[in-house]
Amino acid sequence: MRILPEETRCIVIDYQEKILPAMANKEALLKNSVTLLKGLKELEIPMTLTAQYSKGLGLNVKEITDAIGSEEFFDKKSFSSYGAPEVKKILDGDEVRRNVIICGIEAHVCVLQTIMDLSEAGYQPILVEDCISSRNPHDMDMAIKRAAVEGALITTKEALLFELTQGADSPHFKQISALIK
């Protein structure tokens, strides 16, 4: 299945200031995620940012909101982003964009439960495995395996950005190539 930009959106899950520091390989997670999000912005892929109980876990970090170009987020108490009524309304209101890119934390909780709910609701989740993390690397590894079983396509930021760009003749090719380098 080819992932086409006009059929795709992204949910950016909980890159919050009080939990991000506890993530395994947090520097690589943040660098990869910023590259992905800048690329998705260049490709005009709609992005929805969430925060898990922001009153307790804080806001999303500046690097992420800068990459998206917005600080707007939907606060949630359900682990699944699709369980947040505002997020569900946005997704369900768009019959064309059935592919949903997923990045964020924690892989084995909010990310995985979002994937399961999206899959069950008829969406095609796309897990960007180098843009997720958990505190414990084993939990993340197991989440990736479970996500695949639950129907998620597993990819990397570079593979996904070039797939969405579609070719060197794309008006976005130079900008995407520069981000990847």
For 39-69, write each residue's pLDDT tens digit: 999 999 999 999 999 999 999 999 999 999 9
Specify the length of the chain in residues.
181
pLDDT, tens only, 113-150 = 999 999 999 999 999 999 999 999 999 999 999 999 99
- The structure's pTM equals 0.97
Q: Tell me the backbone φ, ψ of residue 97, rounded to 5 degrees.
A: -90, 85
Cα 7 to Cα 24, 109, 132, 158, distances in angstroms:
32, 26, 22, 19
Average pLDDT over residues 80-89: 97
Residue in this structure with the two tokens 């009524």, named with its chain if needed: 85
Q: What is the DSSP letter of 53?
A: S
By three-state DSSP, how is residue 61 classified?
A: coil
Collect all residues with Cβ–Cβ distance below 8 Å to 94 and sequence separation of at least 6.
Answer: 9
> Residues 125, 147: contact at Cβ < 8 Å?
yes
Half-sphere exposure of 115 (CA within 13 A, CB side): 30
> Which residue numbers are catalytic?
14, 76, 110
By three-state DSSP, how is residue 60 classified?
A: strand
Amino acid 85: pLDDT: 97
Average pLDDT over residues 62-87: 97
